[in-house]
A and B are shown apart, each in its own frame.
Chain A
Amino acid sequence: MSIITVENVVKSFDALGVLRGISFTLNEGEVLSIIGPSGSGKSTLLRCLTQLERIDSGRIEVCSMTMAHSTGGTIQYADAKTLKQIRLKLGLVFQNFNLFPHMSVLRNITEAQVNVLAKSKGEAVATARQLLAKMGLEEKEDAYPCHLSGGQQQRVSIARALALNPTVLCFDEPTSALDPELTIEILKVIKDLAKEKMTMIVVTHEMAFARDISDRVIFMDEGLIVEEGPPDVLFNAPAKERTQRFLSRYGQ
């Protein structure tokens, strides 16, 4: 079943076309990686899905709810209530974590459960502890983000996103701010989530990782999807010259 449908999405910043007609679907339980050079629009695409940016035209559907669609040349966004519902279907893990520095690890994970989902404090804490245990951070619930390593911070931010029980978890270059050792730590967490059949979109520069965990890979360049397919095909026998050129630079 398709969870996300993106049709012909266009997004410009001033005169610069960042997304120039993007279409794809995401199915339940699928792990989709988006790769491509810097400036290809992959992060912007993720930010449009999570409503951090507004699209100029096209159509986005999430869990059978229409988030935005073009009618007669203008973009029409859903009402605030629907947009909020859609927002909660999608979790986002940022490149630089964006944890709340003044809140303890536990409170980072409970705050939205209590204030957005209106869960009881006890229930929220129980969920948070369960997630922290899963992330191997059960000792850290009282720590503040500044006392954690980058890898630990990123694991907390993954727990924070998972605490709202999203249908899809999106990662925006989740390891780009981490050194190689910490990168492995995060990639393992994402791999474990993939094993549990969590539906995920991962924007990444880690080619080996994308090949390893993805069901499908999209290669983007200059605001367009150049090529799309299963990882074996895309990495081993890319059809397009542009994809070959990009991958050869990564020593594939």
Chain B
Amino acid sequence: MRNLLPLLLAGTITTLKIFVLTLLFSIPLGALVARGRMSKNPIVSTVINIYIMIMRGTPLILQLLFVYFGPYYLFGASYDRFTAVIIGFVINYAAYFAEIYRGGVQSIPIGQWEASLVLGFSRAHTFTHVIVPQVVKRIIPAMGNEVITLVKDTALAQTIGVAELFRVAQSASARQFSTTPIVIAGLFYFIMNGVVSRLFDRFEKKLDYYH
């Protein structure tokens, strides 16, 4: 029991690394994907659409296996497991974020674009100063959901052998013939998500000054 906590904390650090890196890359990548999805070029929008369908239509666990083992079977190339986890999570979450962004942008009334145009704003200024601020407010609840899911999804990293929190807890349970480590791990996830939802609540309140 004494050396259980340091073990679980080390696993938690790995979990947090996956969490932070995934958000860091998938949040901006999602914007790029959303842009492609809304493109007037039919080839671009179709390709992006297929990508989104695959990301949302197949299990994340399968995507992780594919990202890690795919290059090995195809080209005999192997690479770092942790990198594979980050790539797998980023391309999966970027697809979900892109759909949230797209929904947000398309929910802004056309009148906002028209008023901006008549006032002489450039399209870029309209997008960054009129549309995006309103989109951010509208997508916060959906983003909160997604980010909470990500905290729990990090447990899937163990499928390609990355020892994150849940993997560490499972091994400890097996060694000690006890469910205690798993219960503690569950508590850890719960606490992390408590923090995440508090942050989103605060953000939502901050943007509560208008509707």
Q: Which residues of A contact B (CB under 8 A)?
A: 50-52, 84, 87-88, 90-92, 94, 96, 98-102, 111-112, 115-116, 144-146, 157, 160-161, 164
Stretch of B9-17, B119-127, B152-160 contacting A (4+ beta carbons < 8 Å): B119-127
14 examples of A-B residue contacts, CB within 8 angstroms: A51-B117, A87-B117, A92-B118, A94-B111, A94-B115, A98-B114, A100-B112, A111-B119, A111-B129, A112-B121, A115-B129, A144-B210, A146-B211, A161-B118
Query: Provided the pairs A146-B210, A146-B211 are in contact, do residues A100 and B121 lie with their beta carbons within 8 angstroms?
Result: no
| Number of inter-chain CB pairs below 8 Å | 57
Q: Which residue of A lies closest to B133 (CB)?
A: A102
Query: Provided the pairs A88-B120, A94-B115, A112-B120 are in contact, do residues A101 and B210 lie with their beta carbons within 8 angstroms?
Result: yes
Bound-state CA distance A111–B112 (Å) is 14
Q: B196 to chain A: which residues have CB within 8 Å?
A: none
Query: Taking the nearest CB of chain A, how far is it from the CB of B204, in angstroms?
Result: 14
User: Within 8 Å of chain A (Cβ to Cβ): is B35?
Assistant: no
Known: A94-B111, A100-B112, A116-B121. 15 other contacts (CB 8 A): A51-B118, A52-B118, A84-B120, A88-B120, A92-B118, A94-B115, A98-B114, A100-B115, A101-B134, A112-B120, A115-B121, A115-B125, A115-B129, A145-B210, A160-B119
Q: Which residue of A lies closest to B130 (CB)?
A: A100
Query: Taking the nearest CB of chain B, how far is it from the CB of A159, in angstroms?
Result: 12
Chain B interfacial residues counted at CB < 8 A? 19
Bound-state CA distance A101–B111 (Å) is 12
Query: Provided the pairs A102-B210, A145-B210 are in contact, do residues A164 and B120 lie with their beta carbons within 8 angstroms?
Result: yes
Bound-state CA distance A216–B210 (Å) is 41
Once the chains bind, are A91 and B118 in contact (CB under 8 Å)?
Answer: yes
Once the chains bind, are B120 and A116 in contact (CB under 8 Å)?
Answer: yes
Q: A146 to chain B: which residues have CB within 8 Å?
A: 210-211
Bound-state CA distance A140–B92 (Å) is 46
User: Within 8 Å of chain A (Cβ to Cβ): is B209?
Assistant: yes
Query: Provided the pairs A101-B211, A116-B120, A145-B210 are in contact, do residues A52 and B134 lie with their beta carbons within 8 angstroms?
Result: no
Q: A100 to chain B: which residues have CB within 8 Å?
A: 112, 115, 130
Q: Which residue of B lies closest to A157 (CB)?
A: B115
Once the chains bind, are B120 and A52 in contact (CB under 8 Å)?
Answer: no
Bound-state CA distance A157–B115 (Å) is 10
Q: B120 to chain A: which residues have CB within 8 Å?
A: 84, 87-88, 112, 116, 164
For B187-211 the 0/1 string (1 means CB < 8 A from A) is 0000000000000000000000111
Query: Taking the nearest CB of chain A, how far is it from the CB of B50, in angstroms?
Result: 30
Once the chains bind, are B119 and A102 in contact (CB under 8 Å)?
Answer: no
User: Within 8 Å of chain A (Cβ to Cβ): is B137?
Assistant: yes
Q: A92 to chain B: which residues have CB within 8 Å?
A: 118
Q: A157 to chain B: which residues have CB within 8 Å?
A: 115
B45-85 interface with A by 8 A CB criterion:
none
Bound-state CA distance A54–B130 (Å) is 23
B96-142 interface with A by 8 A CB criterion:
109, 111-112, 114-115, 117-121, 125, 129-130, 133-134, 137
